[in-house]
Structure formats: C-alpha cells, structure tokens
Structure 1
Amino acid sequence: MTTLLSILTGMAVMLVLMAVARHMRGFRAQKPSDYAALEPRIDIRRHLSGPIRCEGVIYGPMGRVTSRFTADMHGRWDGNRGILSEHFIYDSGTRQDREWHLTLGNDGAIRADADDLAGTGHGQQAGAAVCLNYTLRLPETAGGYVLQVTDWMYLIDETTIINRSQFRKFGIKVAELVATMRRIDA
C-alpha cells in the first residue's frame, strides 16, 4: 500500500510540474518585450483608426468552435485618447455592441475602459504586438459570468491584425477567440 501511495504522490507531483511548465511557456507567458524588435511597429492610434472589418471564431474549453462572428469597428483618436466602437453579429443572430475608451501613454502603456468591464483594462504596445488584460462581465443572456481576459494583437502588415484572446475563470481557460481585423480604406 505504501508503494502505491508513493506512486500516486509522484504522479500528482509530475502533473503539477507539467501544468506549471506548460503555463510558463504558453500563451500567458508572453510579454510585450518579446515582440519589441519586430516590424512593422504597431501604433494603435493608426492601426485601430477608421473603419475596420473583423471576422473570427470562439473556441470552447474543449477546443471546438462554439461561435463564429463578424464585426464592424470604427476607431477615432484625438491625440493619445481614442474610442473604438465595435458592432458584433454572431452566427446565432445575437448582436453585441461595445465602445472602448482607450488612452495610450508615451511609453506605450494602454488604459482601456468599456461598460462591460469590471474595472479598467491595462496593456502595452511594443514592436508588432499589443497585449491587453481586463476583466469582462458577460451579459446575463450569456450567463453573466465574470472572466479574466488576455488579448494579444499582432500586426501582420499595415492593414491586418490577428487577435488571439483567452478567457479564464478561476485561472482555468474556458474559451479562446481568434480573429482577423482589417482596416478598410474609407
């Protein structure tokens, strides 16, 4: 019995170490400085300005697509303060609007506010990437859950951004979003 207990304890330790290792090299281990040298350099005042078309998918916790969406966005800036309006249409027919109020610091720091956030989001732009962390309150029709969100946006060229986001509850990933955002010439 002692040998079985030792084996089970060893397996539990191994699983914890594997989870920690995966966390350290995974999505959440990225830092904006990892992308500081990459070109082209993103400037949210320019790349999140004007009309933007977005298409994406949301994956559930088991990795299957649970929703598809399109969005029309429009960004407008006055110096380092901007508003990004988003109008989503999901494959279920559900519509959702969000208006981000963004402030860009001279050091690339980002402050983000929206009506469905619990508190203020914070992030950083560096090189070809932007990272934004915030707490999102889902609408009651979607369960009303409060989720921790990490958004990464990667500038591909002057008009295209790939957005990857992870949504977590109690530290456990419950959803992931991948989307393409393309500026539309006005």
Structure 2
Amino acid sequence: MNTRRHVLFALLAGSAVLAGCSSPRVSDYAQQQPKLELDRYFNGRVHAHGIFQKRGGEVVRRFTVVMDCRWNGNQGVLDEAFAYSDGTTERRVWRLTKHADGRYTGRADDVVGEAQGQTSGNAFRWNYTLRLPVDGKTYDVQFDDWMYLIDERVMLNRATMSKFGVTLGEVLLSFNKE
C-alpha cells in the first residue's frame, strides 16, 4: 500500500511538471487581432457579467461589475463596483501603470503586493495575490487572469484561483465596453 502511494504521488508530480511546461505564454497571441491596448479598452465605462465556479465546476456565485475607468498618461484608475447574486456588494479600485512593451503593474487595497501583467496581440495575462475574506477569516489567493479581446466592445476573461499551487476554482467574465 505504501509503495502504491509513492508511485501515485510520483505520477501526479510528474503530470504537474509536464502540465506546467505546456502552459500558454502571452507571446503565443502576438499575431492575434484586434490588438488589445488596456489603456484604450479600459477607458470610460465598462460593464461585466461573471460567475465563480468551484474546481469541480459548480457555479457558486454570480455577479455584475460596473467599471469607471480613466487614464492620465501612463497612469490608470479602474474603479470597480461589484454586485453579487446574494445581494452583497464590493468595491475595488485598481491603480495601474503602463510600462514599455505592453507591460502593466497595478495595486488595489485588497491586493497583496503588486500585480504584474503583459499584453501581446489580443491577449493580456495578469497575475496577482488577492486577500479574500471568507467566513470571518482572510486568505491570500493567487489569481492567474487571461483576458482576450474579441472585438472593440467585448473582452472575455478567465481567471484561475489557487492557494499553495492547488486550484480552488475559476472566475469567468464577459466585459462589454459602452
């Protein structure tokens, strides 16, 4: 029995290493159109509709977001107002900085440290740690966001949430620019 566990663990660890090697890179989308420029897309009012799914696929939360976005040079503010299906609300204000070569950094009150992102073609990859309140406690959860510009008005977002490398669930969002 003990040997079986070691073999199973080795197979799972090997699978995880191989899966990590095959992950997409934002540069894989360099030729995809339309080209995403965050400071152009997230400028003005943007609406979003989303769901949170547990890792097994069960949808446990639905929400809408109204975003008021503005830029001054390479500095942007994304003011997000969330309304959840259970009646709760939340606000997050991102302060973004646009750097050379499509790189972005950002901060928000519930983000631990600095978020890092990169655009290429129609895609944007955004990584950060979010401090989430759950049942009276807070947890630092890693987000790996992938956004894809579909056309000048619509962008889709898929974010994987994890803790200690274990996937907790996914957030799916559809952005619609006014």
Partner of 1:60: 54
Residue 100 of structure 2 aligns to a residue whose secondary structure is: coil
The partner residue of 1:79 within 73, 83, 89 is 73
Q: 1:15 is paired with a residue of what secondary structure? A: helix
Task: Name the aligned partner's letter for residue 96 of structure 2.
Answer: L
Quote the residue 2:19 is aligned against: 22
- Give the match for residue 128 of structure 2: 134
Unaligned runs of 5+ in 2: none
Question: Shift of residue 6 of structure 1?
Answer: 5.6
Unpaired stretches in structure 1, ≥5 consecutive residues:
none
TM-score by length of 1: 0.89
CA deviation map 1:16-41 (0-9, x unaligned): 2223323333xxx2211011111100
> Whose strand fraction is larger, Structure 1's or Structure 2's?
2
| 1:52 to 1:141, Cα distance in 2 relative to 1, 3 A | farther
Correspondence 1:111 to 2:111? no
1:89 aligns with 2:83: yes
The residue number in structure 2 matching 1:99 is 93
Q: CA RMSD in A?
A: 1.7
Mapping 1:2-17, distance limit 5 Å: 9-17=6-14
Q: How many residues align?
A: 178
Partner residue of 1:121? 115
Residue 107 (structure 1) shift:
1.4
Using a 3 Å threshold, how does the CA distance of structure 1 residues 142 and 121 change in structure 2: closer, same or farther? farther
Q: Does 1:35 align with 2:29?
A: yes
**Partner amino acid for 1:132?**
W
TM (norm. structure 2) is 0.93
Q: Is 1:162 equivalent to 2:171 in the alignment?
A: no
SS in 1 for 2:77: strand
User: Which of these residues, 128, 133, 148, is aligned with residue 142 of structure 2?
Assistant: 148
Q: Alignment partner of 1:20: what SS?
A: helix
Query: How many Å separate the matches in 2 of 1:35 and 1:180?
Result: 19
Q: 2:42 aligns with which of 39, 48, 54?
A: 48
CA pair 142-156 structure 1, distance change in 2 beyond 3 A: farther
Partner of 1:38, secondary structure, is: coil
CA deviations 1:53-80 (Å, max 9, x no partner) are 1001001122211100011111101111
| Percent sequence identity over aligned pairs | 37
